[in-house]
Amino acid sequence: MKKLAGVCLVVISMLTSLTALGSETIVGVGMVLESKDNTIYVRDLIAGAPAARAGVNRGEIIIAVDSVSTLNQSLDFVVSRIRGEVGTSVTISFTNSDRQERNVTMIREIISTADTCFIVGTYSLRTNGFNNNPPTSIYGSIGDTSVNFFVNGNYVSGNIKGEPVSLNYNSGNNGSQESISGWIRGQHVNWYGNNNMLFGYQTCIK
C-alpha cells in the first residue's frame, strides 16, 4: 500500500479483495476504497459488481463491516473484514455527507474488469528529468498497460493501446505537487507524484 499526500489507496497488495489491476480477477463486492483522515471512503465502483448493483455510491463512508466499527481502523483492517469466500455475505454500514446511515448486505463474487475497462489499476510512471532538468519522456505502466509519453514543456503526448492522448504536465517546481492531468475517453484523470515518480490508482476508464 502506498501513501500520497495523506491518502491511502487499496493497490497492489490487495489483489484478492476489492480492486483489480489490469485484467486480474478478484473476489469481493467491487469497490475501490480510499483512506483519508482516518476515514474509509468509496472512491469508485466496478460496473455490474455487487456494490454497484446494490446502489452503493461513490463518496460514501464505510463506518462498519459486519457490525465491526471502522473508526480509526487501517485500510488493511477494513479490507480484511470485507474480503472472504465466494458466495458468502457481508453487511457494510455506510454514511454520507448528510450523516444518513444505512446497511447494505452483499454476496461476494468473482469479478473481472478485463472486458469492461480500457485502462484500470495502479499507475507507476517515471519521468527522465533529473537535476532540475525538465523531462522529455514519461514511461511506466497503468494497470497491465505499458505506456511511453513524450514531454514538451507542459504538454504530454503519446498513445495508450494505440489511441492518441494529449495531457498536461506540472513539474511541481511552483510549489504544487508533480502531476499529469487531462482527459482520456471523456474521463478526467489526475496522476500525482514527486521526485520524478508518479504512483497511485487509476479507476476504470471504459
How far apart CA 110 and CA 88 sit, in angstroms, is 11
pLDDT band at 92 (very low <50, low <70, confident <90, very high): very high
| Last residue in a domain, options 97, 112, 127 | 112
Are 181 and 188 spatial neighbours (Cβ–Cβ below 8 Å)? Answer: yes
Percent of the chain whose pLDDT exceeds 90: 45
Shared domain check, 130 and 70: no
Phi, psi for 2 (deg, rounded to 5): -110, 150
Structural domain boundaries enclosing 169: 119-205
Q: Give start and end residues of each alpha helix (H) in the chain.
A: 50-53, 75-82
Look at residue 138 and tell me whether its pLDDT is greater than 60. yes
Reduce the DSSP state of residue 50 to 3 states and report it: helix
Shared domain check, 108 and 34: yes
Shared domain check, 123 and 182: yes
197: which 3 cell numbers?
515518480
Shared domain check, 137 and 64: no
Look at residue 147 and tell me whether its pLDDT is greater than 90. yes
How far apart CA 23 and CA 182 sit, in angstroms, is 24
How far apart CA 13 and CA 156 sit, in angstroms, is 30
How far apart CA 170 and CA 82 sit, in angstroms, is 37
Shared domain check, 177 and 200: yes
Q: Which of 134, 119, 122 is nearest to 170 (CA)?
A: 134
Shared domain check, 134 and 108: no
Shared domain check, 102 and 25: yes
Shared domain check, 78 and 158: no
Shared domain check, 96 and 138: no
Which CATH number fits the domain that encloses residue 38?
A: 2.30.42.10
Percent of the chain whose pLDDT exceeds 70: 83
For the residues 65-73, what does the mean pLDDT come to? 94
pTM, rounded to two decimals = 0.52
161: which 3 cell numbers?
493501446
Shared domain check, 90 and 10: yes
| Last residue in a domain, options 51, 77, 112 | 112
